[in-house]
Amino acid sequence: MNVINKLKETAVSVFPVMVIVLLLGLTVVPLDKYLLIRFVFGGILLILGLTIFLVGIDLGIQPMGERCGAELTRKRSLSLLLICAFVIGFIVTAAEPDIQVFGSQVRGLFSFVNKNVFTFVIAAGVGIFITIGLLRTVLNISIKWVLFILYAILFGVMIFCPQSFIGIAFDSGGATTGPMTVPFIMALGLGVSSVRSDDENSFGLTGICSIGPIMAVLLYSLYLKSQGNFDSSSVVQISETAEAVAAGSPLSQIFGPFEEISGEVLRDSVISIMPLFGLFILFQAFLLKMTARQVAKIVIGFIYSFIGLTVFLIGVHGGFSQVGSELGFALGSKALSNGGIWFVLLIAVGLVFGAVIVCAEPAVWVLSEQVESVSGGTITRKLLLVFLAIGTAIAICLALIRSVAGFDLKWILIPGYGLSMLLMIFCPSMFSGIAFDSGGVASGPLTSTFVLSFTLGAACVGANGNDSFGVIALVAMMPLIAIQIMGIMFKLKQKKGGQK
């Protein structure tokens, strides 16, 4: 484990975003100088936090998940494996900070939604579908058939759901895949498949888990619909941008926001990591029985992960989100009023942000490292990141066009997922699993804050200003297409090499 290399790699991923924002904020769309200074300071915290977090994942979270999956499988008790999987999925998801924030956003738009019930519905969806994913691995059922059937049921249910809840449902699939949940779920799947010595089934668990909250929220919307909700009076109109920069001394304007959110972020980090740590204690006492040295290494990994996640989130929420919203609003305003070159510039900036920011997501780094490791270096991290960046860039472009022009989200989701299902016929199973895992990890905390803020800032001046959901759904969908295209290209290249 080379900490310096991780620091270099994270810096290379984040610096382009900082450079682009500074260039735009100092020239084309001038932004407040204190806002830009906060953005730079937040970027530095983000790089340091991501580096420390990844070191902690390597030391603690990933080894724990793989050991748990392997030991539960060796017990040869399918019921024990599935019960533990449900409990793990439910507890970890219910404690995920992103879900708490997401629930508050939904509650702010629909007054009849109970935030706690909404959270538990999502958590139950993840718990049930993680059991389905592990059952698939144990029984060696094709990942393609499972995904075909589950998405067919999902879109069948969607036909009867309220239009205004479809974006929320698909966004929930991305909101559940947080920085603590994804590494553990992926490691758990790898641990189960390692006992069976089946690399083809190593991936796909996160992709299946992402379907759970979508299905659960759609079913919840049907229940709300049956209760007579979704009348126009119950929907809160949203059309506001980021808060103005607070007045005060220069130092307070720069560091004040970081200080204000540090307590909340610290609490969220504790809530996020404690369920996993509690599960580790239980598994160590009754299942793992590791040596003192192994336990100490994993505990140190948890400490690193906690510190890294806290620093990362302070950097993101304190320095990145507001800049994204202000920049999106400024470019969106010019694009709407002047059109032409400004609209092209808005789309171009969205493409670049989508391509670059996804490479800085913590869970994306974890996935890319695991893919490179399991494939024996055949599928390199750089190749995976390139295709993932292309898919995310196109998703942000579509989200911006929709936010300014305003059209039904289903016109993108149905053809997009239909194409994903079609590509599965020709794509190797392992790549299909990686693709659907990538859809979940691409919509992490950085994408859900900076990119979402940027897109919603543009939406505030467009025809779709009051429809604030669906951006994460598009970000989660496009990698399914991009990575499977990579898999088909890889398959053709192998076939061509074999012929030679």
As a whole number, mean pLDDT of residues 74-79 equals 84
What's the pLDDT score for residue 357?
Answer: 79
Angle at 27 between CA 23 and CA 28, to 5 degrees: 100
Summarize pLDDT for 306-323 with one digit per residue, the tens: 999 899 889 888 877 778
What's the pLDDT score for residue 446?
Answer: 67
In the predicted structure, residue 393 carries a pLDDT above the cut 50: yes
What's the pLDDT score for residue 201?
Answer: 63
- Based on its alpha-carbon atoms, the radius of gyration of the chain, rounded to whole angstroms, reads 22
**Taking the CB of residue 41, how many other CB atoms lie within 10 A of it?**
17
Mean pLDDT of the chain: 81
Q: Percentage of the chain with pLDDT > 90? A: 16
439/216: higher pLDDT: 216
In the predicted structure, residue 448 carries a pLDDT above the cut 70: no
How far from the centroid of its chain's Cα atoms is residue 2's Cα?
25
What's the pLDDT score for residue 124?
Answer: 93
What's the pLDDT score for residue 466?
Answer: 46
What's the pLDDT score for residue 417?
Answer: 92
Structure tokens at 213: 């909250």
Report the alpha-carbon distance of residue 62 to residue 64 in Å, rounded: 5
What distances in angstroms separate CA 213 from CA 98, 99, 140, 231, one per listed residue?
13, 11, 24, 24
Q: If we measure between CA atoms, which residue out of 453, 247, 345 comes closest to residue 28? A: 345
What's the pLDDT score for residue 445?
Answer: 64
49/495: higher pLDDT: 49
Structure tokens at 43: 């970027």
What's the pLDDT score for residue 467?
Answer: 54
Kindly tell me the burial class for residue 237, based on how many C-beta atoms sit within 10 Å of its own C-beta (0-12, 13-18, 19 or more): exposed
What's the pLDDT score for residue 498?
Answer: 62
What distances in angstroms separate CA 326 from CA 24, 36, 258, one per listed residue?
11, 11, 18
Report DSSP letters for 116-165, one per residue.
HHHHHHHHHHHHHHHHHHHHHHHHT--HHHHHHHHHHHHHHHHTTS-HHH
Q: If we measure between CA atoms, which residue out of 240, 175, 241 comes closest to residue 472? A: 175
* Those residues with Cβ within 8 angstroms of residue 437's Cβ, 6 or more apart along the chain or in another chain: 186, 203, 204, 205, 206, 207, 367
What's the pLDDT score for residue 235?
Answer: 47
Task: Report helix, strand or coil for 23.
Answer: helix
**Taking the CB of residue 282, how many other CB atoms lie within 10 A of it?**
13
Kindly tell me the burial class for residue 460, based on how many C-beta atoms sit within 10 Å of its own C-beta (0-12, 13-18, 19 or more): buried
As a whole number, mean pLDDT of residues 217-234 equals 79
**Range among 153-162, 235-244, 450-459, 473-482 rated most confident:** 153-162
What's the pLDDT score for residue 202?
Answer: 67
What's the pLDDT score for residue 247?
Answer: 53
What's the pLDDT score for residue 244?
Answer: 44
- Report the first-to-last Cα separation within the chain, whole angstroms: 38
**Taking the CB of residue 193, how many other CB atoms lie within 10 A of it?**
27
**Range among 93-97, 134-138, 221-225 rated most confident:** 221-225
Total residue length of the chain: 500
Give the pLDDT band of residue 81 (cuts 50, 70, 90): confident
As a whole number, mean pLDDT of residues 330-344 equals 79
Backbone angles phi, psi at 246, to 5 degrees: -65, 145
- Taking the model in full, what pTM does it have? 0.77
Report DSSP letters for 446-476, one per residue.
HIIIIIHHHHHHHHTTSTTTT---SHHHHHH
Summarize pLDDT for 359-388 with one digit per residue, the tens: 777 778 777 887 887 777 777 888 888 888
What's the pLDDT score for residue 200?
Answer: 58
In the predicted structure, residue 206 carries a pLDDT above the cut 50: yes
- Mean pLDDT check: name the lowest of 133-147, 222-236, 267-281, 475-489: 222-236
Summarize pLDDT for 15-38 with one digit per residue, the tens: 888 888 899 899 888 888 888 999
Give the pLDDT band of residue 198 (cuts 50, 70, 90): low
What H or E segment, with its residue span, contains residue 284?
none
Residue with tokens 């507001």: 322
Where on the phi/psi map is residue 248: left (φ > 0), alpha (ψ -120 to 50), or beta?
Answer: left
Summarize pLDDT for 232-281 with one digit per residue, the tens: 444 444 444 444 444 567 777 778 888 888 888 898 888 878 888 888 89
**Taking the CB of residue 281, how many other CB atoms lie within 10 A of it?**
11
Between the CA atoms of 204, 209, 215 and 219, what dihedral angle is there, to the nearest 10 degrees?
Answer: 160
As a whole number, mean pLDDT of residues 50-57 equals 86
Report the alpha-carbon distance of residue 331 to residue 329 in Å, rounded: 6
What's the pLDDT score for residue 424?
Answer: 92
Helices (H) and strands (E) in the chain, counts: 21, 0
Backbone angles phi, psi at 231, to 5 degrees: -80, 160
What's the pLDDT score for residue 245?
Answer: 45
What's the pLDDT score for residue 241?
Answer: 42
Q: Percentage of the chain with pLDDT > 70? A: 87
Cβ–Cβ under 8 Å, residues 483 and 384: yes
As a whole number, mean pLDDT of residues 487-492 equals 87
Task: Report helix, strand or coil for 408.
Answer: coil
461/356: higher pLDDT: 356
Structure tokens at 302: 């948890």
Between the CA atoms of 238, 175, 17 and 40, what dihedral angle is there, to the nearest 10 degrees?
Answer: 80
